[in-house]
């Protein structure tokens, strides 16, 4: 029994006398009273130990610092001067978690009047912080303010001593933030309402419907991009088609990849089309602040190449290739121009399509859509940028009928070999 008592008597001091880190402490806020807490490892002080409440008769300024913290050192010089100026009314306590030996070597080169506390584990629990210097103001045992050391000025000290009010710029660290988690994920650091710019990739998200959004300003410039559960091939097509609409279609596509299943579904692969979509679809978002000057489609192109090039070796680029095409040309531009008095309009019936005083690009877009599944891409080599008036067959895929109708407006549609822009997707 004596042996057990002796062993227990040796163990208890080891657990409770020197093991500060096992004592759980709740962080204090402004207006809270400080507890009666032992201060150990004091340096530059007449005593080795003290108590936090022993300074209740003074304005206690606790400054958290480290020897490697470059902004901390000028702050300590400033605190030392304040200590000398207000020696009867103020007590500065410079606190660090670093070993006493490290602090002792640091202080040998400096003659300061402030008290230091090394190897701290308790005070940081009471006053948690992310960045140093971190300064805590305590008056009459009540927490008054959290600031940086730059706020410790003679005027601010006098005001607090005379009025009991801390009129200073507060430094409030959000200690709930976890550096191991991305900012705003799971509410880490906030709900995301303060973000200025965001570019993000994510895998297929079950429960969300497929959507492609490219919001545009009044001038047509893309101002926000959101792609949800979009197949990889479509991501690349859409990124380039926002600049070059004709690249959206397969007849302008050139694929050089080792594993085509990341782009195309193979019904013999042994998995369902739904499962393939889940494996090869992604989410992408690009949000920028109002007034942002960057070209968002180009930014998306670069980020697709950066992300997928770095993960699966897949990149895309605009290249030129000679291939068989349907080429629109103009032999009499005057015949294609619209009268200035014409009312802008387009109408479609079962047999005809009428376009009045609308851009030629309006007609060309229709050609692209109706020939999207054709092996021959449609090329606009007319050079027409103005508005036109034309009555054409409703079926743009009837090449012979289109050729006859277009001839009335000084236009030709011919099949020929032509060097044209295509979207090359390749894999390293």
Specify whether the CB–CB gap between 326 and 415 falls below 8 A: yes
Mean pLDDT over residues 232-242, rounded?
96
- Classify residue 33: in a domain, yes or no: yes
Tens of pLDDT, residues 50-81: 999 999 999 999 999 999 999 999 999 999 99
pLDDT tens-digit series, residues 114-123: 999 999 999 9
C-alpha pair distances (Å), 402 with each of 351, 366, 405: 12, 13, 5
User: Cα-flanking dihedrals φ and ψ of residue 2, to 5°?
Assistant: -65, -40
User: Where is the domain boundary, 314, 345, 369?
Assistant: 314
What's the CA gap between 137 and 36, in Å, rounded?
A: 16
Q: What is the DSSP string of 179-210?
A: TTS-TTGGGTTSSSTT-S-EEEEEE--TTPPP
* Domain match, 268 and 330 both: no
Closest CA to 366 of 335, 395, 404: 395
Strand partners, 418: 323
Residue 328: inside a domain = yes
Q: Work out the mean pLDDT of the chain and round it to a whole number.
A: 89
Model confidence at 126: pLDDT above 80? yes
Mean pLDDT of all residues in 221-249: 95
Q: What pLDDT, in 10s, does the model give residues 319-337?
A: 999 999 999 999 987 777 7
Q: What's the average model confidence in pLDDT over 383-408?
A: 92
* Three-state secondary-structure class, residue 219: coil
CB 339 within 8 A of CB 332: no
- Is a pLDDT exceeding 80 seen at residue 316? yes
Last residue of a domain, one of 314, 335, 366: 314
Domain around 379: 322-427
Q: Is residue 255 part of a domain?
A: yes
Instruction: Out of 282, 314, 346, pick the residue that ends a domain.
Output: 314
pLDDT exceeds 70 at position 201: yes
Based on the domain organization, do 203 and 280 belong to the same domain?
yes
pLDDT at 174: 65
157 found inside a domain: yes
**pLDDT reported for residue 13:** 41
- How many domains does the chain contain in total? 3
Q: What is the reported pLDDT for 65?
A: 96
> Are 149 and 35 members of one domain?
yes
Is 170 part of any domain?
A: no
Residue 76 lies in a domain: yes
Instruction: Read off the pTM.
Output: 0.66
Confidence at 5, pLDDT banded by 50, 70, 90: very low
Does residue 175 belong to any structural domain of this protein?
no
The whole-number pLDDT of residue 172 equals 74
Segment 3-18 mean pLDDT: 38
Query: Residues 197, 248: one domain?
Result: yes
- Give yes or no: residues 196 and 272 share one domain: yes
Rounded to an integer, the average pLDDT of 384-406 is 92
172 in a structural domain: no
Residues 144 and 214 in one domain: no
Percent of the chain whose pLDDT exceeds 90: 70
- Rounded Cα–Cα distance for residues 329 and 383 (Å): 8
Is residue 307 domain-shared with residue 339, that is, in the same domain? Answer: no
Q: How many CB atoms lie within 10 A of CB 226?
A: 15
Residues 276 and 326 in one domain: no
**Mean pLDDT value of segment 415-419:** 95
Q: Are 287 and 326 part of one and the same domain?
A: no
| Number of residues in the chain | 428
Separation of CA 149 from chain center: 31
Instruction: Give yes or no: residues 233 and 341 share one domain.
Output: no
Instruction: Determine the Cα–Cα distance for residues 149 and 165; give it in Å rounded to an integer.
Output: 18
The CATH number that applies at residue 109 is 3.40.30.10
- Overall average pLDDT of the 84-101 stretch: 95
Q: Are 386 and 338 in contact (CB under 8 A)?
A: yes
pLDDT at 333: 79
* One domain, residues 133 and 47: yes
Measured distance CA(327)–CA(107) in Å, rounded: 82
Residues 326 and 309 in one domain: no
Q: What is the pLDDT of residue 10?
A: 39
Neighbours of 236 (CB within 10 A): 24
DSSP string across 50-112: EEGGGGTTSEEEEEE--TT-TTHHHHHHHHHHHHHHTTTTEEEEEE-SS-HHHHHHHHTT---
pLDDT at 21: 46
């Amino acid at each position: 029994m004596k042996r057990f008592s002796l062993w227990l008597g040796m163990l208890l001091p080891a657990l409770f006398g020197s093991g500060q880190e096992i004592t759980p402490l709740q962080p204090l806020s402004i207006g809270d009273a400080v507890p009666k807490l032992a201060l150990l490892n004091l340096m530059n002080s007449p005593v080795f130990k003290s108590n936090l409440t022993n300074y209740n008769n003074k304005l206690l300024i606790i400054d958290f610092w480290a020897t490697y913290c470059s902004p901390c050192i000028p702050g300590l010089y400033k605190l030392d001067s304040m200590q000398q100026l207000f020696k009867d009314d103020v007590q500065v306590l410079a606190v660090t978690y670093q070993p006493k030996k490290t602090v002792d070597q640091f202080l040998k080169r400096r003659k300061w009047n402030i008290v230091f506390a090394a190897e701290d584990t308790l005070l940081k629990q009471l006053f948690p912080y992310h960045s140093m210097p971190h300064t805590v103001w305590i008056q009459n045992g009540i927490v008054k303010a959290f600031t940086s050391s730059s706020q410790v000025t003679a005027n601010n000290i006098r005001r607090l001593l005379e009025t009991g009010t801390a009129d200073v710029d507060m430094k409030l660290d959000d200690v709930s933030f976890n550096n191991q988690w991305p900012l705003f994920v799971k509410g880490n650091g906030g709900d995301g309402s303060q973000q200025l710019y965001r570019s993000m990739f994510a895998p297929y998200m079950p429960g969300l419907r497929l959507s492609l959004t490219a919001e545009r300003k009044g001038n047509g410039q893309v101002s926000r991009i959101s792609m949800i559960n979009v197949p990889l091939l479509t991501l690349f097509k859409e990124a380039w088609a926002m600049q070059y609409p004709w690249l959206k279609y397969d007849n302008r596509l050139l694929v050089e990849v080792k594993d085509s299943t990341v782009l195309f579904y193979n019904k013999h692969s042994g998995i369902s089309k739904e499962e393939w979509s889940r494996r090869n679809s992604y989410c992408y978002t690009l949000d920028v602040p109002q007034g942002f000057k960057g070209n968002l489609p180009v930014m998306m192109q670069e980020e697709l190449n950066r992300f997928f090039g770095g993960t699966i070796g897949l990149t895309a680029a605009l290249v030129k290739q000679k291939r068989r095409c349907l080429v629109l040309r103009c032999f009499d531009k005057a015949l294609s121009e619209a009268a200035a008095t014409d009312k802008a309009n387009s109408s479609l019936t079962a047999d005809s399509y009428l376009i009045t005083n609308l851009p030629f690009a309006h007609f060309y877009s229709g050609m692209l859509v109706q020939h999207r599944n054709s092996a021959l891409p449609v090329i606009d080599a007319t050079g027409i940028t103005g508005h036109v008036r034309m009555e054409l067959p409703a079926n743009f895929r009837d090449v012979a009928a289109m050729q006859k109708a277009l001839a009335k407006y000084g236009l030709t549609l011919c099949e020929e070999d032509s060097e044209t822009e295509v979207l090359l997707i390749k894999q390293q």
